[in-house]
Amino acid sequence: MTVRALARVNLAAIERNVSRLSGVVGGGTQVCAVVKADGYGHGAVPSARAALRGGASWLAVATALEAVELRAGGIEEPVLVMGALSADELPVALEADADVVAWSEGFVDLLGPGPARVHVKLDTGMGRLGTRDQGEAMRIAERVDAAHGIGLVGAMTHFATADEDHEYVAVQLERFNRFVDELRERWPELLVHAANSAATLSVPASHYDMVRCGIAMYGCDPMNQDPAAWGLEPALELHSYVAAVKPARAGDSVGYGRRFVAGGDTKIATLPIGYGDGIRRALSNNCEVLVRGRRYPLVGTVSMDNITLEARPTTDIRIGDTATIIGADGGERVTAEDLARRIGTINYEIVCGISSRVPREYHRDGSAV
């Protein structure tokens, strides 16, 4: 380790994950790689390039500036901005040659004379963006199609429970299929898409013309259990190093609030990484870190810049040893899913939460890129 914290991203793993997802859906369905939120903390442009090498043909983001970042990084493939766009943000997205999503007739008015490519969205049950009214969604599609310089390109929805409740997915599919049937009577060439990572892996009826895969392309399990169960490889490892090792006696405390008090003679190893880097404070006294192939408990309160581990007096931990917060060391492994379950959240939040002050180092199966 030459830096206090480091996220190592294996681009070859992303390529293989996307190839795996492409195999799941088959040749008749395209894969759209979702690289919003800086590629779920993995880096948007490097992840996008890896996904395209792995067989993706589309990319998706949430904001106009995320589309600009991809174009600035030399990405030329189709980009879809899935999120809400204000009157000020919309021209930014269009100037980046990105497709946009419409779910209100007023949004069509903002598009002006174009050029623009539009996907109309029906809210079949997520309850966020999109109209629930199929008639209104059809009117939006008609207005887009009739507008000069604006192309009706696709139709979409989003699932609320594909990771846990397939009965509700079936309800959403029924609603969406009615909409798709009506659309295709008028516009048979529309690109229809609905599936997120969970639906891609577990709901074949949701695949349509394209699937939108985010968390799975990074090798995380969309069901927040075990990536290996789906043939996925985690692409990201998070490391720090042992900056100090010091003895502690019975009654000595560690960290803010004295939330850990030594019960006997022990040693404390300090790592220069904390919640300012994305180590959630809820992991205080609630986590294990790998050093020299062994698990050591995180003890005391997670600080902004440091965490502490308890090591027995006979430990062979040394200053300078690499510490693995996410990843493998010897025969042991800690996954984003492991950390998420510890604190009652999801793997998305763990990887997206790794802050920008943690450098990202990219490699392909160990070879630097």
| Helix (H) / strand (E) containing 146 | helix 134-146
Residues in the chain: 369
Which amino acid does the sequence have at 245?
Answer: V
246 is catalytic: no
Which amino acid does the sequence have at 88?
Answer: D
Residues 6+ apart with CB under 8 A from 181: none
Determine what percent of the chain falls in helix, strand and coil, rounding each to the nearest 5. Answer: 35, 25, 40
- Which ranges of the chain would DSSP assign to H, the alpha helix? 11-25, 36-40, 44-53, 64-72, 89-95, 105-110, 134-146, 166-186, 197-202, 336-342, 347-352
Pairing of β 116-121 and β 210-213: unpaired
**Residue of 40, 241, 246, 256 with catalytic role:** 256
What is the sign, positive or negative, of the torsion defined by CA atoms of 275, 279, 284, 290? negative
Contact at 8 Å (CB) between 106 and 98? no
What is the 3-class SS of 19-68, one letter each residue? Answer: HHHHHHHCCCCEEEEECHHHHHCCCHHHHHHHHHHCCCCEEEECCHHHHH
**Residue of 36, 121, 296, 362 with catalytic role:** 36
| Cα end-to-end span (Å), the chain | 18
Say how far apart CA 3 and CA 250 lie, in whole Å.
33
Q: Supply 45's token pair.
A: 């442009």
Say how far apart CA 105 and CA 137 lie, in whole Å.
9
256 is catalytic: yes
Say how far apart CA 107 and CA 143 lie, in whole Å.
10
Could you give the residue numbers annotated as active site? 36, 256
